[in-house]
Chain A
Amino acid sequence: MSAATQPDTHVAPNRPGRSIDEHRVILSVAAFLWLILAVFGAVGIVQRLLLGEQLTTYSSYIPWGLWVAAYIYFIGLSAGAFLLSSLVYVFGVRQLEAIGPLALFTAAVTLAMALLSILFDLGHMERFWEVFLRPQFHSMMAWMVWLYAAYFLLLLAELAIVLRQRWSRLNDEQLARDRTRLRVLGTIGVPLAIAFHGGVGALFGTVVAREYWNTAIFPIIFLTGALVSGGALITAIVAFLWPTLDSGWRELVAYLSRVVILLVLLDLLLEFAEYSIPSWYQVGAEYNLITYILFGPYWYVFWVVHLLLGVVVPVILLTRRHALAQGFGAVLVAITFFAVRLDLVIPGLIAPELQGLEHAYLDPIGNRLVYSYMPSLFEWQVTAGVLALGIALFVVGYRFLRLVGPVQDVAAEGDAR
């Protein structure tokens, strides 16, 4: 399925596919939408900083909500994008060479979004550094924080090397040294990324009190999830933002699409195991929780958002021989994966650990002793704010850091415009 032989080539190589006017309209619409998102989000973030967690709807019985789901979603994107970059720098996959810097930068931005999300979730944000001052290494959470701190530094180092390569002309000797450095850093980075994102899965998986989380498949499913969502995000970015729309671009998108399809199907297989094993004989505590996910009040999160919009439709789109269709498929996978993250966090918490606790003592004022959860507008606002911030960071970086395009052409292209 080589894209180069595609008959329906509708754009000439090396030229923007749209007229300047069309381009401008799309840009202003996008900027306008971003502005709405940013204002909506900024209000939430300011409220969060002034009022703490009073406007949230999570409770003492469902203590983790939207922000934790957002956190594991963003951190999954980061781990996935990073692992994709390691295909280039560690395993030398030629077809992906062009996306190395982009993948690294995306990993850094999404990591920042993840950390911001979880920071807002803390009851005492100002004490986050205690995790570094007095860590307690029995805790999976302490491990996770330390591992992704290390990962963050490594990411910055790799990014610095890659950007230097793109910004200045290096001689062959310097290039060779950089390649070695990148290979070493990437080789450290791969187990690190596996460890910290597997660790995020283990953070849930090790909690004995929660039947739904307490399975060995959790770290594994978190990792495949990271690859699926991170891979899809990079595919979408390449499909829609790549500077040149030539056959090389189409081949790249087609290659990435095949990778994403494979990962989506692998993830589906693991998910089938996760849901079918504990519920096959339709009895047991976990059976009830899985029934809740599939047929409870939020059934549409699984069936519509995840399965239809996150698997079926995207797989159809990704198999089309058209780069933009493939791009849309990838966008769907990347966005709807948030539903999977929600379905990992919340259902683990919705069943009372002791029968009857749900009406033993109520909280009519704050509603903090309930076993149901729907994120408040405020929680969405904060997440939107994080998203807007991340998008801004990404766009600025994408515009000014020269992450994509052939190195030599950067100067020439600038002259031509």
Chain B
Amino acid sequence: MPPLGSPHQAVAPPEDPTDAAGPSGLERRDFLIKAAAMLAAGVAFPWGGLDVAVLPAQTSSAGATDPAVPAFAISPQADEDVLIRMQRDLARALRKPIEQRRWGMVIDTRKCVACMSCTVACVMENKLPPGVVYRPVIDTEIGTYPNVTRQFLPRPCMQCDNPPCVSVCPVNATWKRPDGIIEIDYDVCIGCRYCITACPYQARTFDFGENWTNNAATGAPAALALAGAAQYENEPNFEYSERWNRANGPIPTSPVGNARKCHFCAHRLVDGLLPMCVTTCLGRATIFGDLNDPEALVTELAASSNAIRLKEDLGTEPKVFYLL
């Protein structure tokens, strides 16, 4: 192994049995990675201590097995809500070391009613400003009037196993964690937006420093609403288990000026909570869990014959599946 690591090298090859990239694909990739790493090692050798694969931030936020996670005591029942089962799956996954988890999501498009509650819940959970969105619901009309139907497609970050957004980052501010979540380090990201152009699903948006109170009405009747919005704006968010108080300024306070995206609510997972979009899904169309766990509901559904992944041909290996 060349001395200079890379985000890819820290990660085991996909364990997904439906993995479409044949061995030849992997070999070629490995070759390119190694070739690039060797080249890079030559250049970066004086900074050998800054091995990109072991930067502390890359391992800190996920934590190892967390003993604080409460055991989930409700035993299985015949017609229980899928949320209960997912909660049980989650607790089981958290008892494993982080590198044995492989978070994934299945979205049943037939159950989605396009209520957008996941979109909104995500905005609330992560205090997203205007223009930043992690999980829009794409609503397409199919056919010609009057013979039409509509299809709904919630679009979180696919947490690709082979993420094109990671290898473009010039400063290694984004990487794949051992549990498969693609993380962004807001403290490092320089805001070049290269990753935004490189994501084939447009799952990354940029925090331009917009606020919900921008250009808002003023005057007496608006005061209450403005006060509420202003308070919302000043609340921190807790992405990646850190406290972020975003702010504008000559030197903006992160995550203003950073690329942002869905992270499967990594900060909730460590505390044994399901991602916000999963808990708020009216139609129970969003299923979440550990794809490495054969007992988990998400694994069961991901193996359905009607499960597909978006842009499979690109070889990005998304960990978000859609049931058609």
B37 to chain A, nearest CB (A): 8
Interface residues on B, range: 35 or more
Measured CB to CB, the closest approach of chain A to B247, in angstroms, equals 10
Tally of chain A residues near chain B (CB < 8 A): 57
| Chain A residue contacts of B286, Cβ below 8 A | none
- List, in ascending order, chain A residues with CB within 8 A of B324's CB: none
Does A123 sit within 8 A of B, measured CB to CB?
Answer: yes
Closest beta carbon of chain B to A356's beta carbon, Å: 4
CB <8 Å contact, B200 and A353: yes
B43 proximal to A (CB < 8 A) = yes
Cross-chain contact of B197 among A63, A124, A142 (Cβ < 8 A): A63
Task: Across the interface, name the chain B residue whose C-beta is closest to A368.
Answer: B131
Interface centre among A130, A206, A360 (most CB of B within 10 A): A360
Query: Do residues A134 and B209 form an inter-chain contact, with CB atoms below 8 A?
Result: no
> How far apart sit A360 and B47, CA to CA, in the bound complex (Å)?
45
Which of A54, A140, A145, A349 neighbours the largest number of chain B CB atoms within 10 Å of its CB?
A54
Given contacts A360-B136, A360-B139, A366-B131, contact A130 B190 (CB under 8 A): yes
- A61–B168 touching, CB < 8 Å: no
Chain B 249-305 interface residues, beta-carbon cutoff 8 Å to A: 249-252, 254, 256-259
Q: Could you say which residues of chain B place their CB within 8 Å of the CB of A355?
A: 138, 140
What per-residue 1/0 map shows which CB atoms of A38-67 lie under 8 Å from chain B? Answer: 000000000001111110100111011000
Q: Is B205 an interface residue (CB 8 A)?
A: yes
Q: Do A134 and B52 form a contact, CB below 8 Å, given A355-B140, A366-B131?
A: yes
On chain A, the residues within 8 Å of B10 by CB distance are none
Are B256 and A131 in contact, CB atoms less than 8 angstroms apart? no
* Distance between Cα atoms of A207 and B212 in the complex (Å): 33
Interface check A364, CB cutoff 8 A: yes
Interface contact A53-B208, CB-CB below 8 Å: yes
Proximity string of chain A (2-20) to chain B, C-beta cutoff 8 Å, 1 when within and 0 when not:
0000000000000000000
Given contacts A136-B167, A208-B200, list 18 more A-B pairs with CB under 8 A. A52-B252, A53-B257, A60-B132, A60-B206, A122-B192, A123-B192, A123-B259, A124-B258, A127-B171, A130-B173, A133-B47, A134-B52, A136-B52, A137-B39, A353-B199, A354-B201, A356-B138, A368-B208
Q: Can you report 30 A-B residue pairs in the complex whose CB atoms are below 8 A from each other?
A: A52-B209, A60-B132, A60-B204, A121-B192, A122-B191, A123-B206, A123-B207, A123-B256, A124-B257, A127-B171, A127-B191, A130-B190, A135-B43, A135-B170, A136-B170, A137-B37, A137-B39, A137-B43, A138-B167, A142-B170, A207-B168, A209-B199, A356-B153, A357-B138, A359-B139, A360-B136, A365-B210, A366-B131, A366-B210, A369-B205
A-binding residues in B (CB < 8 A): 4, 6, 33, 36-37, 39-40, 43-44, 47, 50, 52, 55, 119, 130-133, 136-140, 153, 155, 164, 167-173, 188-194, 196-202, 204-212, 214-215, 248-252, 254, 256-259, 310, 314
Residues of A near any B CB (own CB < 8 A): 49-54, 56, 59-61, 63-64, 121-124, 126-128, 130-131, 133-142, 145-146, 203, 206-210, 348-349, 352-357, 359-361, 363-369
